[in-house]
Amino acid sequence: MSTEARKPPPQIALKIRRLLGGKAGWNGVAVQFAFAAILGWIGYEIVSNARANLENQHIAAGFGFLRNNAGFDVNQTLISYTGSDTFLRVFVVGLLNTLVVSVVGIVFATLIGFIVALCRLSPNWLLSRVGEIYVEIIRNLPLLFQILFWYLAVLAALPNPRQSISLLGLAFISNRGLVVPSPIGERGLEPFLAMLALGIVASLALRFYARRALFQEGRMIRIWPYVLGLLFGLPLATMLVFGPPFSFELPQLKGFNFAGGSRIIPEFVALTLALSTYTAAFIAEIVRAGILSVHKGQMEAGSSLGLSRGTTLRLIVVPQAMRVIVPPLTNQYLNLTKNSSLAVAIGYPDLVSVFAGTSLSQTGQAIEIIAMTMGIYLLISLLTSAIMSVYGWRVSRSLGA
Partner 1 sequence: MKRVTLALTLALAAGLSAQTADAQTLKTVKDRGMLSCGVSQGLPGFSSPDDKGNWTGLDVDVCKAIAGAIFNDASKVKYVPLSAKDRFTALQSGEIDVLSRNTTWTISRDTSLGANFTGVTYYDGQGFMVKKSLKVNSALELNSASVCVQTGTTTEQNLADYFKANNMKYEVIAFGTNDETVKAYEAGRCDVFTTDQSGLYANRLKLANPNEHMVLPEIISKEPLGPMVRHGDDQWFDIVKWSLFAMVTAEELGVTSKNVDEKTKLENPELKRVLGSDGNFGEQLGLTKDWVVRIVKAVGNYGEVFDRNVGAGSPLGINRGLNNLWNKGGLQYAPPIR
User: Which stretches of the chain bind partner 1, using CB under 8 A?
Assistant: 45-47, 49-50, 53-54, 56-60, 71-75, 83, 152, 155-156, 160, 175-176, 254-257, 259, 266-267, 344-347, 349, 353-354, 356-358, 360-367, 369-370
Q: Using the 8-state DSSP alphabet, how is residue 73 labeled?
A: -
Q: Name residue 12's amino acid.
A: I
**Considering the complex, what minimum distance in angstroms separates the CB of residue 281 from partner 1?**
23
**Considering the complex, what minimum distance in angstroms separates the CB of residue 83 from partner 1?**
4
User: Taking Cα atoms as reference points, which of 160, 339, 344 lies closest to residue 267?
Assistant: 344
Question: Dihedral of the CA atoms 285, 286, 292, 298 (nearest 10)?
Answer: -140
Whole-number Å distance between alpha carbons of 156 and 327: 39
Nearer to partner 1, 237 or 378 (CB): 378
Whole-number Å distance between alpha carbons of 371 and 352: 12
Dihedral sign, CA of 167, 169, 174, 178?
negative
Under 8 Å between Cβ of 82 and 71: no
Nearer to partner 1, 110 or 359 (CB): 359
Nearer to partner 1, 188 or 357 (CB): 357
Nearer to partner 1, 50 or 390 (CB): 50
Nearer to partner 1, 125 or 256 (CB): 256
User: Taking Cα atoms as reference points, which of 160, 346, 335, 332 lies closest to residue 269?
Assistant: 346
Q: Using the 8-state DSSP alphabet, how is residue 86 labeled?
A: B
**Considering the complex, what minimum distance in angstroms separates the CB of residue 182 from partner 1?**
16
Q: Name residue 15's amino acid.
A: K
Q: Concatenated DSSP letters for 190-225?
A: HHHHHHHHHHHHHHHHHHHHHHHIIIII------HH
**Considering the complex, what minimum distance in angstroms separates the CB of residue 220 from partner 1?**
55
**Considering the complex, what minimum distance in angstroms separates the CB of residue 181 from partner 1?**
18
Nearer to partner 1, 61 or 196 (CB): 61
Nearer to partner 1, 65 or 114 (CB): 65
Dihedral sign, CA of 322, 323, 328, 331?
positive
**Considering the complex, what minimum distance in angstroms separates the CB of residue 266 from partner 1?**
7
**Considering the complex, what minimum distance in angstroms separates the CB of residue 374 from partner 1?**
8
